[in-house]
Amino acid sequence: MTSPAPLTALGRTVTFADGTTAQLRYSLGALALLEQRHGGIDGVLRTFETIDGTDSLSGVVIGPMLELIGAGLTGSGGFVPHFTERMTTVREETPDGKKTSRDVREVTAVRYVRASDRKELGDLLDLKGFDQLVEAMTGAFAEAFPQGEEAAPAGPITDVTLPDTFRGTSSTTSAPSPSDAQTQPSGT
């Protein structure tokens, strides 16, 4: 059995403007949250690359950076995501001429709030430590994928044939009992 100590040691410490700290760690829950916002792990990686490759604050950087940091601070970091949604009613006509409508929800913003004092993440960070934030995000994200694609084991693809019992085709039924067969009363 492995020790749980390495799991709790993962992450990077982020220092806020008010002097408090929190652990930035990309757990599966944090990664799932980012996947939903960025259209999959490829979108998350593109966002990381955009921010990590930025030497200046040009383009759209602050909002995506707050989302990446906020997601990494959920859970043990003590932050909770608050979603702002926009609901739009889409009216459509079916091929047979019937008119239908459906509601479409779109997340327009995610704010991360510290559960202990309800302060927003954006108010707790400033641009003085931009390089340290990017370094912490990159290090914590690298810890979430310790092997990386290069070190992932490569091997032959194996086809697995499942027996029919997994598909439910081997079920059998017994012959019905005669109507004059005695039945035991329940509970005896």
Q: What is the pLDDT of residue 114?
A: 93
Q: What gap in Å lies between CA 114 and CA 121, rounded to an integer?
A: 7
For residue 152, name the pLDDT band (cuts at 50, 70, 90): very low
Q: pLDDT per residue over 16-56, tens digit each?
A: 999 999 999 998 889 888 888 888 888 888 887 777 665 55
For residue 104, name the pLDDT band (cuts at 50, 70, 90): confident
For residue 62, name the pLDDT band (cuts at 50, 70, 90): confident
> Containing H/E element for 7?
helix 5-9
Percent of the chain's residues with pLDDT above 90: 18
CA-to-CA dists, residue 59 to 51, 55, 62, 123, 130, angstroms: 10, 11, 9, 21, 15
Q: What is the pTM of this model?
A: 0.62
Buried b vs exposed e over 6-40: b needs ≥16 C-beta within 10 Å?
eeeebbbebebeeeeebbbbbbeebbebbeebbee
Residues near 64 by beta carbon (within 8 Å), at least 6 away in sequence:
47, 50, 51
Q: What is the pLDDT of residue 44?
A: 85
Q: Is the pLDDT of residue 3 over 50?
A: no
Residues near 67 by beta carbon (within 8 Å), at least 6 away in sequence:
34, 37, 47, 110
For residue 4, name the pLDDT band (cuts at 50, 70, 90): very low
Q: Where are the beta strands (DSSP E) in the chain?
A: 12-15, 21-24, 79-93, 99-114
Q: pLDDT per residue over 164-175, tens digit each?
A: 554 455 455 566
Q: What is the pLDDT of residue 98?
A: 92
